[in-house]
Amino acid sequence: MADLHLHSVHSDGTESPAEVMRCAFAHGVRTAALTDHDRISGWSEAAGAALGLGMTFLPGMELSMKTELRTLHMLAYLFDPDNAPLRAEADRIRRDRVERAQRMVRRIGKDHHIRWDDVISAAPEGATIGRPHIADALVARGIVSTRGEAFTEILDPGSRYYEPLYAPDPLTAVRLITNAGGVAIAAHPVTSGPESFLSRKEIDELIEAGLGGFEIDHRDNTPDGKAMLQAIADEHDLIVTGASDYHGDGKPNVPGENSTTQEMIARIIERATGTAPRFPDARNIVQRSDDRA
């Protein structure tokens, strides 16, 4: 089984990268990618744990992006971690994430007993700050009982407390990832909620710009949407993946609940030029300087 979408405490998951890999292994996953939001600092710990368990590890990231209407996510695999433009963009998003979360907390604080300190206490040190950490602070304060409830009651984009996040547009995101030697796979592109994806025209533009494919088997994608994406993927011979989007205790998603075929993993590896996958044996010969935050 291969699960190419997992989050750790380096973004908004609740487990360390090593714990995430151990959990994935326990669920039968043998090829795994760590895809923290806008961040690669968990790679080296995850790779060490994965290889120790005999798993194959694909370094990844889930890059934030947005259109006029909504926030979207692009999965990126095997890109060069030293690529300056991609690094700079991820840094910029993370910086804005903190300011945006502060703005949201100020708004929420007018109606509920919550302050920025509560978010700092709720978030693991160095995490990519996001609404999930505001949710954790709301839970800690007893204002709601779960992350899920916080999202529906307070953190939803339709809520008066919501603040937009800086993020590149999808075309820029695909170009940044592709120019860094990575493979761009649109994350959960056809959900039914406010985070649903793009028009056919926009998708065609992304394919033109180098989009590698779609994450189709994801619990938030609608059946109709999956069929639509599969048809586009067949037409353009694109990569399709399946994954859990595991966030530890932060979401009900379980590692290995969806899987990516070996054929598709081989295609991702073949297409990428940024960094090598980490294999659990002598094939793991390429080491690059991707162990920094």
Q: In what order do the strands lie in the sheet with 239-242?
A: 2-6, 31-34, 56-66, 71-77, 183-186, 213-217, 239-242
Query: Is residue 47 within the footprint of Fe ion (CB under 5 A)?
Result: no
Collapsing DSSP to helix, strand or coil, 131 comes out as: helix
Q: Which residue has the tokens 């326990």?
A: 26
Residue nearest to Zn ion (CB): 245
Q: By CB under 5 A, name the one of 73, 218, 267, 278 that touches Fe ion.
A: 73
Stretch that binds Zn ion, among 20-28, 153-161, 226-234, 241-249 (CB under 5 A): 241-249
Enumerate residues 4-33 that contact Fe ion by CB under 5 A.
12
Q: Which of 5, 218, 247, 267 binds ligand AMP (CB under 6 A)?
A: 247
Q: Does 60 bind ligand AMP (CB under 6 A)?
A: no
**Tokens at 153, concatenated:** 């009651």
Q: Which residue has the tokens 């033109």?
A: 208
What's the gap between Cα 73 and its chain centre? 7
Name the minimum Å distance from CB 96 to ligand AMP.
10
Strands in the chain per DSSP E = 2-6, 31-34, 56-66, 71-77, 183-186, 213-217, 239-242
Contact partner at residue 251 from Fe ion, Zn ion, ligand AMP, none, CB < 5 to 8 Å by partner kind? ligand AMP
Which of 81, 189, 213, 250: binder of ligand AMP (CB under 6 A)? Answer: 250
By CB under 6 A, tell whether 246 contacts ligand AMP. no
Tell me which residues touch Fe ion (CB under 5 A).
Answer: 12, 73, 187
